[in-house]
Chains A and B, each alone.
Chain A
């Protein structure tokens, strides 16, 4: 079991976020992912990558570029455009000794595989009384902008997070992208790793060797005392920008990077809310029945007495993604919405 030798970083936020003063070399988010995949293939014979066009020169936003040349088509495998069936193939391989990583250019293609993910991957351990595990990693890309419109820019983390038996992580930083991806590949169950297209060029210091971060741990990215902003993925950056602006106005915001949507780091969120007494949740997805609803519910259940104001949620409105740039602008909330919400609470 090669993974047991690999160091786990289960601290919450050991790493300074957003690069800067780290001694190690810097990597972009895309490079961190590519390095994680290479190291997984090198570390463990059971690991293989599969997905539509993952051996293209472009290599899924650069995250798989060159890997087929390096490891061969047996480990880095192009796939027919048959998402549900191929998810089943990956699951069948996973339950018989392999550790596949199924890579999707867009999360929007995953509704094609919901049967295999929900009814099979997520259920198998339980249905077999724990006798058969499905160590499957599914990488899915979310994103926004450039008129990608309704079928190429959704943010479907809540769909997966709803399902017991699935883990869902959303790395926001290069360090997390590498660690969470390796943690998922090393794990025993199915994990959906959701990456944001706008993060691929983010850079920060990333250790050269392999390390794993297990799902279930959030991270405090900035400490504060007046309001907690709990954010997912790209929204972490909007939250950090909002926190800087709020600081100028005398409001001290704490930014929690949710990192793991399922399991959710309830303790970290509750602890922060108990300290600040206020909660804003900023998610890349829809508001209704979304991740923000779950986070708000956690605060209400476990930190109710500490809350000095109603929870605010900064999410997408209940509409599919529009194409026109003017509508896109109206669709995506960001720093202004977060700042406004915070000012209204404090």
Chain B
């Protein structure tokens, strides 16, 4: 593992990953109350990708995401309160209760939005990249999407145009090997998704997405290439979703994904691996990690209270914002 990151940077990465993990775990524990009345697609097990990529982005840079977007939005700097309120369908939600878990947005933090249409956001990210070039600022645009989205035409159309115009776009594929219950092997020929970049003259690389330092390193190069006019990069991060495709439960008993693989991936927990690294190789103390943990939990507590106390949107505003 690399060790050129400052201790502060490492701790920030850890805090982001932990926030995502704990936030999602809180959703798991609160969901049975049936107060979050919307489908939730949790990213537990995949936190390193959001954290490692967004570490290179400023507030003005753009990210676009999918149905599984909580982690990306948190990593991009979005406040937890409007996220929680949105999951509760309240008027202080980031989308004023019109979006729900699948449509988080926060333009002030460079999150124009998230689409729950598989592959839907990829061209939007390319459009933001085009916009960035046309307006002459060096904003980078990141498209987060799953391996399933690489089945879609929009993926290919987007790579083609981004490469043609050398746009400042980073394509980030979170390859968790499944699209709902359908394995990638049933949907795509057996080549790494990153290699599909070659057909469009886009550099692609496959990286262990559970190792946040490897993610960080790969993303750094891609973001720098984009920012300096070198065009797009396709990053494929291999990872695994711990929970069911949708909802707070495990799907391990459903038999769609082999139990052995699940066990193996649980042992590759991105958070535990990074924690061990910090303690053993980065001179971060257990007390420091504990302080982060306490702070994260408090922020989540506050967000949940905020969300639950926010009023519901009034029925009289049903057709507002159309």
> A residues engaging B (CB < 8 A)?
48, 74, 80, 82, 84-98, 115-116, 119-120, 124-132, 164-165
Whole-angstrom distance from the CB of B107 to the nearest CB of chain A? 5
A125 to B107, CA, bound (A): 12
Whole-angstrom distance from the CB of A327 to the nearest CB of chain B? 34
- Cβ contacts A to B, 16 pairs, < 8 Å: A74-B134, A84-B123, A85-B153, A86-B161, A87-B123, A88-B158, A96-B131, A97-B135, A98-B130, A98-B134, A115-B117, A126-B322, A128-B113, A131-B95, A131-B106, A132-B112
Select B112's contact among A48, A96, A119, beta carbons within 8 Å: A96
- Residues of chain B from 66 to 105 with CB closer than 8 A to chain A in the complex: 93-99, 103, 105
Measured between beta carbons, the chain B residues less than 8 angstroms from A89 are 123-124, 126-127, 130, 158, 161
A89 to B132, CA, bound (A): 12
Measured between beta carbons, the chain B residues less than 8 angstroms from A97 are 131, 135
Q: Is the CB of B125 within 8 A of A92?
A: yes
A90 to B103, CA, bound (A): 20
Measured between beta carbons, the chain A residues less than 8 angstroms from B95 are 127-129, 131
How many B residues face the partner with a CB closer than 8 A? 44
A240 to B115, CA, bound (A): 46
A127 to B93, CA, bound (A): 11
Q: Is the CB of A85 within 8 A of B157?
A: yes
Measured between beta carbons, the chain A residues less than 8 angstroms from B153 are 82, 84-85
Whole-angstrom distance from the CB of B60 to the nearest CB of chain A? 10
Q: Is the CB of A88 within 8 A of B120?
A: yes
A115 to B62, CA, bound (A): 22
Whole-angstrom distance from the CB of A18 to the nearest CB of chain B? 35
Residue of B nearest to A124 (CB): B113
Measured between beta carbons, the chain B residues less than 8 angstroms from A164 are 319, 322
Whole-angstrom distance from the CB of B7 to the nearest CB of chain A? 35
A94 to B131, CA, bound (A): 8
Q: Which 5 A-B pairs have the closest CB atoms?
A: A92-B127, A85-B157, A88-B123, A129-B96, A130-B321
B64 within 8 A of A: yes
Measured between beta carbons, the chain A residues less than 8 angstroms from B64 are 92
Measured between beta carbons, the chain B residues less than 8 angstroms from A80 are 157, 160-161, 164
Measured between beta carbons, the chain A residues less than 8 angstroms from B135 are 97-98
A115 to B118, CA, bound (A): 10
> B residues engaging A (CB < 8 A)?
62, 64, 93-99, 103, 105-107, 112-113, 115, 117, 120, 122-132, 134-135, 141, 153-154, 156-158, 160-161, 164, 319-322
Q: Is the CB of B113 within 8 A of A95?
A: yes
Measured between beta carbons, the chain A residues less than 8 angstroms from B322 are 125-126, 164-165
Given contacts A86-B157, A89-B123, A119-B120, 6 further A-B contacts (CB under 8 A): A85-B122, A85-B123, A91-B124, A96-B62, A127-B95, A128-B107
Whole-angstrom distance from the CB of B322 to the nearest CB of chain A? 5
A98 to B124, CA, bound (A): 13
A74 to B165, CA, bound (A): 11
Whole-angstrom distance from the CB of A215 to the nearest CB of chain B? 13
Whole-angstrom distance from the CB of A187 to the nearest CB of chain B? 13
Whole-angstrom distance from the CB of A127 to the nearest CB of chain B? 4
Most A Cβ at <10 Å: residue of B94, B96, B106: B96
Select A116's contact among B107, B123, B319, beta carbons within 8 Å: B123
Q: Is the CB of B93 within 8 A of A129?
A: yes
Measured between beta carbons, the chain A residues less than 8 angstroms from B164 are 80
Whole-angstrom distance from the CB of A91 to the nearest CB of chain B? 6
A91 to B135, CA, bound (A): 16
Residue of A nearest to B125 (CB): A92
A48 to B153, CA, bound (A): 25
Q: Is the CB of B161 within 8 A of A132?
A: no
Measured between beta carbons, the chain A residues less than 8 angstroms from B134 are 48, 74, 93, 98
Measured between beta carbons, the chain A residues less than 8 angstroms from B62 are 96
Q: Is the CB of A130 within 8 A of B123?
A: no
Q: Is the CB of B321 within 8 A of A119?
A: no
A98 to B105, CA, bound (A): 19
Select B105's contact among A85, A119, A128, beta carbons within 8 Å: A128
Q: Is the CB of B105 within 8 A of A131?
A: yes
A93 to B94, CA, bound (A): 21
Measured between beta carbons, the chain A residues less than 8 angstroms from B160 are 80, 82, 85
A48 to B94, CA, bound (A): 30
Residue of B nearest to A119 (CB): B117
Whole-angstrom distance from the CB of A298 to the nearest CB of chain B? 18
Q: Is the CB of B98 within 8 A of A115?
A: no
Select A132's contact among B107, B132, B319, B320, beta carbons within 8 Å: B107
Residue of B nearest to A92 (CB): B127
A131 to B107, CA, bound (A): 7
Whole-angstrom distance from the CB of A112 to the nearest CB of chain B? 9
Measured between beta carbons, the chain B residues less than 8 angstroms from A85 are 122-123, 126, 153-154, 156-158, 160-161
Given known contacts A115-B117, A127-B99, A128-B95, A95 and B124 CB-to-CB distance under 8 angstroms:
yes
